[in-house]
Copies of this chain bind each other. A is one copy, B any other.
């Protein structure tokens, strides 16, 4: 949860998680935490608040993750593929044994920034009323956790279902960010970046390379190429 304003929402999110067997809560610069209001709303899920990890930035919070899912109500241009919660759970079930995943929930008032969305490998939007789609953040957490729990239950009773081939080993976000930083430098050097407005190009590059689900070995090759470009 990124920069949550109201401690009650953190507590309600913890309760939502625990009811659906999810336990690892990460908080990026919460406005007020720990706070008695959070514990009151958490009800029997105080343990999740006690074990919640706090981070200074989203990048730190997701450094170990390969799958980073931004939960957003808004339509985003040039974002990662947008999936529904049900589609997301199918993706995650196909991958759950292989990769560390995080769901990223934004601020109550204005959600996630474009820069934060850029860190995500998938964007998930909860279908809602086109005239009033403003879900409370803990309600959104509840829906995602519920869908995950139900999706897992469904697989337990469908043990004979053909499983898709496992995904290959993905590079963690920290390595990917290192690559994008390196790519920026190289594009700058060859004067391909629009210095006044470099973001659209970099965002397109992110979408392109994120879709390819790079391994650590592939990132090393790409960074070798960039190193040679910078040497020219």
Contact = CB atoms under 8 A, between A and B. Distances in A.
Contacts of A18: 129, 132
A63 interface: no
A16 interface: yes
Given A12-B136, A18-B132, A142-B143, 7 more contacts: A19-B135, A21-B129, A90-B164, A127-B146, A190-B229, A192-B224, A192-B225
A146 B212 CA distance: 31
A61 interface: no
Contacts of A164: 87, 90-91
Interface residues on A, range: 35 or more
A14 to B, nearest CB: 11
Contacts of A91: 164
Interface in A199-214: 201, 204-205, 208-209, 211-214
Contacts of A149: 127-129
| Number of copies of chain A assembled together | 2
Nearest to A15: B136
Interface string A123-139: 00011110011111011
B20 A128 contact: yes
Contact of A16 (B45, B136, B221): B136
A197 B93 CA distance: 40
Given A142-B139, A212-B209, A134 B43 contact: yes
Interface of A: 12, 15-16, 18-21, 41, 43-45, 81-84, 86-87, 90-91, 126-129, 132-136, 138-139, 142-143, 146, 149-150, 153, 160, 162-165, 187, 190-192, 201, 204-205, 208-209, 211-214, 218, 221-222, 224-225, 228-229, 231-232
Given A44-B134, A128-B149, A16 B229 contact: no
